[in-house]
């Protein structure tokens, strides 16, 4: 499959949002994925086992781990300028206090389910001690984050273990990214359809150069009545196959969260040279992309976003004294190159466009899943969607 086709279809030929003919702004990178940003690698461990009534500790299991290496395996320990933003704090992302303090981080980002954050943290520490022992000899502060998959998964069963995190980190590579029900997105729902992983990218011309901005989402948010695609409010026309609709009482009986709940994590990457504050500004634009898909930001949805730059910033190395910095200039001062604040608008637009498309890809590249206690998460009906979008 050619690079052009990978921007619109999965490697096995299934359509992504663009492959359905959905109108989306901007120019995607060759893979239309987070891995279009040079050096970024992604690995996943998917855990699916069992059917029927839930027995805590035995399953059914519908969960997993996604690992993002901002500079790849060989770049672990090399800092990236970074910033984060919380639209709603009903969720978890570790390592953010250090990002606020240093304006950077230097370890992988790991996504899984809400009750697996501890296992993810331990897994990253063990993996770092194995692949970069000099880095781990003092302390490491992983970025571990989550969304809730308890409607389909035995979330209290301790099924995600540190070994699964290490496996996802070891599997990380560039190239196409698994979307839909894979890795940390395995048991997730989005707009009351099957959700999970989605990714997209945009090319941003800048003088004689072209920068890449890309997003990866673990999408587990939104009520069906809110769903909007390419500016069309289609959710109300797609309520018929919703096992729960928006009935709070029925959802509570089924062990499901209230409408719109569940959470969304977005990871934004770019190769544009940015200050930490500019990375935070990119993270603050994520909600604008989410809003284009219809969400109004439920109180019960933890919506937390991280943005980082892979551009080389030598001055950031001094934030990590456990790694040798090397000789500096005679006056002991570092230098940083960055985009002027007044030239950021094109990057902001790229974030909004990438996030919108990433959410749609999470919905389009998916299949129905039945999980614990027979709970069903239906696939977005693509034929009905395209018919609605085709109406005048």
Query: Which one of 36, 149, 271, 303 is the catalytic residue?
Result: 303
Of these residues, 230, 263, 309, 377, which one is catalytic?
263
Q: Is 303 a catalytic residue?
A: yes
Output the CA–CA distances (angstroms, integers) from residue 134 to 140, 167, 314, in the order listed. 11, 21, 19
> Is 306:109 a contact under the CB 8 Å cutoff?
yes
**263 an active-site residue?**
yes
Catalytic one of 181, 230, 301, 377: 301
Residue at token pair 């930001």? 297
Residues designated as active site: 263, 301, 303
């Amino acid at each position: 499959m050619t690079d052009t086709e990978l921007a619109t279809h999965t490697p096995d030929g299934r359509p992504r949002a663009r492959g359905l003919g959905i109108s989306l702004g901007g120019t995607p990178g060759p893979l239309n994925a987070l891995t279009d940003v040079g050096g970024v690698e992604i690995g996943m461990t998917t855990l699916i086992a069992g059917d029927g009534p839930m027995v805590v500790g035995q399953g059914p299991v519908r969960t997993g781990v996604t690992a993002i290496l901002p500079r790849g395996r060989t770049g672990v320990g090399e800092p990236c300028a970074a910033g984060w933003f919380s639209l709603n704090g009903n969720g978890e992302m570790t390592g953010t206090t250090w990002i606020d303090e240093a304006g950077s981080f230097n370890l992988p980002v790991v996504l899984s389910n809400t009750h697996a954050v501890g296992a993810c943290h331990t897994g990253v520490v063990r993996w770092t001690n194995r692949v970069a022992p000099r880095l781990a000899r003092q302390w490491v502060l992983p970025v571990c984050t989550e969304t809730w998959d308890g409607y389909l998964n035995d979330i209290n069963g301790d099924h995600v273990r540190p070994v699964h995190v290490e496996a996802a980190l070891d599997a990380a590579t560039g190239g196409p990214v698994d979307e839909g029900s894979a890795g940390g997105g395995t048991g997730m729902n989005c707009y009351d359809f099957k959700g999970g992983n989605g990714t997209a990218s945009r090319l941003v011309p800048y003088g004689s150069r072209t920068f890449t901005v890309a997003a990866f989402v673990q999408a587990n948010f939104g009520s069906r009545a809110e769903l909007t695609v390419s500016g069309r409010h289609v959710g109300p026309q797609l309520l018929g196959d919703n096992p729960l609709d928006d009935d709070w009482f029925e959802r509570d009986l089924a062990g499901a969260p209230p409408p719109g709940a569940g959470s969304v994590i977005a990871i934004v990457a770019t190769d544009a040279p940015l200050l930490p504050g500019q990375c935070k500004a990119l993270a603050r634009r994520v909600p604008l992309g989410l809003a284009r898909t219809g969400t109004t930001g439920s109180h019960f949805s933890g919506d937390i976003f991280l943005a980082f730059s892979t551009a080389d910033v030598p001055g950031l190395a001094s934030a990590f004294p456990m790694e040798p910095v090397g000789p500096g200039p005679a006056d002991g001062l570092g230098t940083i190159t960055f985009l002027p604040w007044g030239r950021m608008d094109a990057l902001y637009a790229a974030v909004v466009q990438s996030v919108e498309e990433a959410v749609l890809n999470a919905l389009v590249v998916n299949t129905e899943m039945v999980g614990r206690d027979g709970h069903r998460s239906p696939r977005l009906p693509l034929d009905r969607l395209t018919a609605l979008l085709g109406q005048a």
